[in-house]
Amino acid sequence: MRLMLLEMKRILKNPLFWISIALIFVFIYSQFGSGIDISDMDKPLPNQENYGITQTNNMSIIREKAIAQLLQEYSFNSYTTYPYGFYRQVELNDKKNLQMAKIISAISGTSIEEIQEKQKKQQSSLMNGEQIQHIIIAKAQDSISAQEFLDLMDKADELLGGGSFYSKKLIASQFGKRSKTYEEAIEDYELMINKDRVSGAYARLFCDYAGIIIGIIPIFLAVAIWFKDQRSKCQDLLFTRKTSSLKFIISRYLAMLILFSIFLIVMGSYYNIQIIKEFGLSKINPFYFYGYILIWLIPILAVLLSIGTFTTIATNSPSGILVMMTWWFLDVMNGLPGIKGGYGNSLILRHNIVGNTQIYLNNRAFIFINRGAYILFAIVILVISMSIYNLKREGKVFVRGIHKK
């Protein structure tokens, strides 16, 4: 405890900590704003122009749109994919092109020769692209079951190298979009009022923005704190202290974790107080903000600080910055398709909307498993860090790296 408090004092005197806090504050403030937007909680009225977009699981709609897109791309042999969120255009060679034709044939019930003939007609402008699609799609609706359709589209995605909207993960969100009806908008609204108690909806948006920035900025402090031991030449002195590696590493780790968490709680409280003022205590749950910060954001911090600790102890270099930056980058770019409720295996969970409560409720168990897994991962990384630190203290590894003497 005493050691942890000592580390906290050290961190509070470190300019990098305050620069990190300032950057986190500026980012969240610039995205979330100076206050909450209460218009997000306005009750939908009948005959509004727009109630937002929702996702349908109606396979006929998804099938029709997905096949239309696939046929369009097949006819030009030019497919748009987004591996890790980056645009990539794919052209298939003859072998893969034939495999794609087989997939389309299996989906549509049209023979490969017919498809290829119709494509040639389109390319030579003898037949309009829409006419071809209309003919093929009409046949496709009853040719195979929904599961078979999804499996075949997944194969098409694999053929394209992944990242296309034909994958099972993205097909519904991409091709199942449609405008919400008034009844659906009311249902969403009721969920926000009753289930979210207003606070939950805003808390998720806050965690969405905060998650992005705390997924990268604290790594600099984590690396700097450990790196400083080497720079100031006090590493050898620390090795000789009777404090165990466990106590030392955990104290320093918890000091960083607690300080960043305190800041997040303070910032969350600022918005929480605004919600209380606008809606009143009777309509909201003031503890939801803190619950979301604990479950949604703390695991991100835990993993990031553990990676910073491990990489710096193991390599005596700031390579943790590169590692975490790469991870963060891929995570954020990968999360773009599911930005309004994407709960994959990402470290940084996305929910960039006030609402979509049903999506959150449907995936709540998965979110808890995800967060629990990452906490476990952080603990494992810390244990490995302690082992390496112990080996260095015993002189069994060089202090410049993990090579045996």
Partner 1 sequence: MVFTRNKILCNEIKHHTLSNVLPCFAVFLLIYILFGIEGLKKDTVLIIAERFLPLMAIILLTPCFEYELDKGINQVIRSKTIYIGETYFIRMIWRIVLYVLSTLMLMQFLKTQRAHMEFSLYTLESISIGLFLGSLGFLISGISSSLIGGYLVALVYYLIQWMPNLKMLGAFYLFRIGKNLEPMIELNIGITLLFLISGLLGKLMIERRR
How would you write 89-106 as a 3-class SS string?
Answer: EECCCHHHHHHHHHHHHH
Q: CA nearest 205: which of 366, 330, 38?
A: 38
Q: For residues 241 and 400, which CB has a smaller minimum distance to partner 1 in the complex?
A: 400
Backbone CA torsion sign across 114, 116, 120, 122: positive
In angstroms, what CA-CA distances link 301 with 224, 247, 363, 377, 403?
Answer: 16, 20, 22, 12, 29
Beta bridge partners of 155: none
CB of 5 to partner 1, least distance (A): 24
Beta bridge partners of 90: 79
Q: For residues 97 and 230, which CB has a smaller minimum distance to partner 1 in the complex?
A: 230
Distance between CA 300 and CA 377 in Å, rounded? 11
The two beta strands, 177-179 and 79-81, are unpaired
Classify burial at 389, counting beta carbons within 10 Å of its beta carbon; exposed 0-12, middle 13-18, buried 19 or more.
Answer: buried
CB of 322 to partner 1, least distance (A): 6
Q: For residues 2 and 95, which CB has a smaller minimum distance to partner 1 in the complex?
A: 95
Binding residues (CB under 8 A) for partner 1: these are 15-16, 19, 23, 83-84, 86-89, 91, 161, 216-217, 220, 223-224, 227, 230-233, 317-319, 321-322, 325-326
CB of 291 to partner 1, least distance (A): 29
Q: For residues 222 and 359, which CB has a smaller minimum distance to partner 1 in the complex?
A: 222
CB of 75 to partner 1, least distance (A): 18
CB of 269 to partner 1, least distance (A): 26
Distance between CA 377 and CA 293 in Å, rounded? 19
**Phi then psi for 317, rounded to 5 degrees?**
-145, 165
How many helices and strands (H and E) does the chain possess? Answer: 18, 4
Q: CA nearest 10: which of 214, 226, 220?
A: 226
CB of 335 to partner 1, least distance (A): 14
Q: CA nearest 310: which of 389, 254, 374?
A: 389
Q: For residues 91 and 113, which CB has a smaller minimum distance to partner 1 in the complex?
A: 91
CB of 9 to partner 1, least distance (A): 19
Q: For residues 34 and 89, which CB has a smaller minimum distance to partner 1 in the complex?
A: 89
Distance between CA 296 and CA 289 in Å, rounded? 10
Q: For residues 203 and 216, which CB has a smaller minimum distance to partner 1 in the complex?
A: 216
Q: CA nearest 202: which of 353, 345, 306?
A: 353
Q: For residues 231 and 242, which CB has a smaller minimum distance to partner 1 in the complex?
A: 231
The two beta strands, 177-179 and 53-55, are antiparallel
Q: For residues 147 and 319, which CB has a smaller minimum distance to partner 1 in the complex?
A: 319
Q: Which residue type, as a one-letter code, is found at position 281?
A: L
CB of 333 to partner 1, least distance (A): 9
CB of 308 to partner 1, least distance (A): 10
3-state SS assignment for residue 77 = coil
CB of 217 to partner 1, least distance (A): 8
Q: For residues 170 and 216, which CB has a smaller minimum distance to partner 1 in the complex?
A: 216
